[in-house]
Chain A
Amino acid sequence: MLELAALTAFFMLVQYMITVGILNQYYQINLTSMCINIILAVSLNLINGFTGQLSLGHAGFMAVGAYSSVVMTQMLGQPFIIGILAACLSAALAGFVIGVPTLRLRGDYLAIATLGFGEIIRVVLQNIDYIGGPAGIVGISKLTTWTWLFAGTVVSTLVIVNLINSSYGRAIISIREDEIASEVMGINTTRYKVLAFVVGALFAGFAGALYAHYFYIIKPETFSFLKSFDVLVMVVLGGLGSTTGAVIAAVFITVLTAALQTFPAVRMILYALILIIVMIYRPQGLMGNREFSLKIFG
């Protein structure tokens, strides 16, 4: 109960600061990126951290979500909520279509195959004239509000945390721990890998919809595999398998990105060093698989 109150208070405080203008445009943009990054990191962590299947195609699902929501709201004149539903469903569907064949592959092969699919999604988007081809879509109305961002972040995180702390989540984690033992214990590992992949993709699509309706413009280039690597850096830094870690790392990386806005190369060099150093000296990430718990539903 206490946590629920704290979250509500935080929401209202930020809303107030936006309304009276304490949080200017600059801070609002970063706040938006932060929420979107949290959703991306937490959802990728479900795939990479909890299921132990390295996916490098998260940006592809984000792109699917971004484009389908924009088609709904801008081209077909539907309300934002329909756009968001379309984003989630289409990204989940893409996750299913890509996941079913590729999740049979192990480890590094899966990583490269997902990277390939992510790039294929991008190239396909570039070749569809209806959605602007390589130039993308400009002039998207700004429908993503603080309320949407906040609720979206909280709901995404909660859904994933609740999933993990259930029998389904334990089945998912057992795949990471020992796929053969898991299978022998009666767990249909393929099914749970696909489940994790689909849920992860769904929230990436959601993040894509929020992104598109805040930043005015989307183009295929935005969702290249470098975007997937961004999210990977967050997940690796926070600790593969810790939702708390993913959230903290997403916040940290967003702040770092903002601070280094004028030095993009330095930012990427830092990302690179984070990946290398974390893997060598602290492969479990900052948080390992520990969590701070937030109990909202009891």
Chain B
Amino acid sequence: MSLLEIKGLNKSFGGLSALLEFDFRLAKNELIGLIGPNGAGKTTVFNLITGVYKPDKGKIIFAGEDITGLPAYKICRKGVARTFQNIRLFNNLSVLDNVRIALHKAVSYGLLAAVFRMPSYFAGERLIEQEALRYLEIFDLADKKNEIASNLPYGEQRRLEVARALATRPTLLILDEPAAGMNPYETQELMQLIRWIRDDFNISILLIEHDMSLVMGVCERIYVLDYGQVIAEGGPEEIRNNKRVIEAYLGEEVG
């Protein structure tokens, strides 16, 4: 059974069609890549799945439920988490707070308990902090928990964003250009990390990436978008040899 199924999705901005009759399918535990030239509509797909934009037409089914047009926070609670192409951390807050905010729905105490500092507040806060630290440890950020997020070096900001997304306990993790700005060595590390996340957290991952070596190396299936339409779909080998894909990328780098 597929975890995410998209049928006939359309979105246009001011008359310009960004996405046309987009169909997509992702199985449980699958690791899928979405590639395409600049402006092909990849990030639009992500924004539509996560509820940042509302589609003009089409259906998005997640875990058997129609989530089309739901507000973003509800989609998150259904189990979809994401990172952003141009990292969007809570910049003036500490590393720990960034993850604690993502754990918001796990909070066990009420508003009055917080305001009047009842025992349940202290117990709940302790639990959240432990949980947040667990995620920070996984991403090797625990010793930086009190640093202000915007003061972290670039690579660590990317890791923090992934940690924060995972803290919402998703069943589908969506990564928007996770390797942007990384050197080949870091990209290699990232590939291992992505596979490990999928296996260890037992979730599905969908990623947009420009770095072909990463996409080809890590993804099991790849969708290629061009001008808002899927022009190819298949395993890395198929995609590498697909004529339309090569044409679409002509003049651009092909991994």
Contacts and interface: CB of A to CB of B under 8 A. Distances in A.
Given A186-B104, A186-B105, A186-B168, A181 B114 contact: no
Taking chain A's interface residues, is the majority helix, strand, or loop, or is none over half, making it mixed? helix
A163 B72 contact: no
B71 to A, nearest CB: 7
Contacts of A177: 90-93
A177 B72 CA distance: 17
B101 A185 contact: yes
Looking at A169, A184, A188, the one whose CB has the most chain B CB atoms below 10 A away is A184
A162 B116 contact: yes
A254 B115 CA distance: 28
B61 interface: no
A174 interface: yes
Contact of B104 (A167, A180, A289, A298): A167
Nearest to B122: A298
A94 interface: no
B82 interface: yes
Contacts of B73: 183-189
Contacts of A170: 93, 97, 100-101, 104
Contacts of B51: 183-184
B160 to A, nearest CB: 12
B107 interface: yes
A189 B101 CA distance: 12
Nearest to A181: B88
Interface in B114-135: 114-117, 121-122, 124-125, 128
B100 A186 contact: no
B76 A180 contact: no
Contact of B117 (A162, A169, A183): A162
B122 to A, nearest CB: 8
A257 interface: no
A74 interface: no
Interface in B33-62: 50-52
B16 interface: no
B72 A183 contact: yes
Interface in B147-198: 164-165, 168
A159 B100 CA distance: 21
Question: In the complex, which of the residues A170, A171, A182 has the most CB atoms of chain B within 10 Å of its own CB atom?
Answer: A170
B111 A168 contact: yes
Nearest to B117: A297
Given A181-B90, A185-B102, A189-B73, A166 B125 contact: yes
Interface in A21-43: none
Nearest to A288: B92
B22 interface: no
B239 interface: no
B159 to A, nearest CB: 16
Given A183-B71, A185-B76, 6 more contacts: A162-B115, A167-B114, A178-B91, A187-B73, A195-B111, A298-B117
| For the complex of A and B, 6 pairs with smallest distance between CB atoms | A166-B114, A186-B76, A177-B90, A297-B117, A181-B88, A183-B72
Interface of A: 159, 162-163, 166-171, 173-174, 177-178, 180-189, 195, 289, 297-298
29 contacts: A159-B115, A162-B116, A163-B115, A166-B115, A166-B121, A167-B109, A167-B124, A168-B111, A170-B97, A170-B100, A171-B101, A173-B97, A177-B90, A177-B92, A177-B93, A180-B88, A181-B84, A181-B89, A181-B90, A182-B101, A183-B73, A184-B50, A184-B51, A184-B52, A185-B102, A185-B164, A186-B104, A298-B117, A298-B122
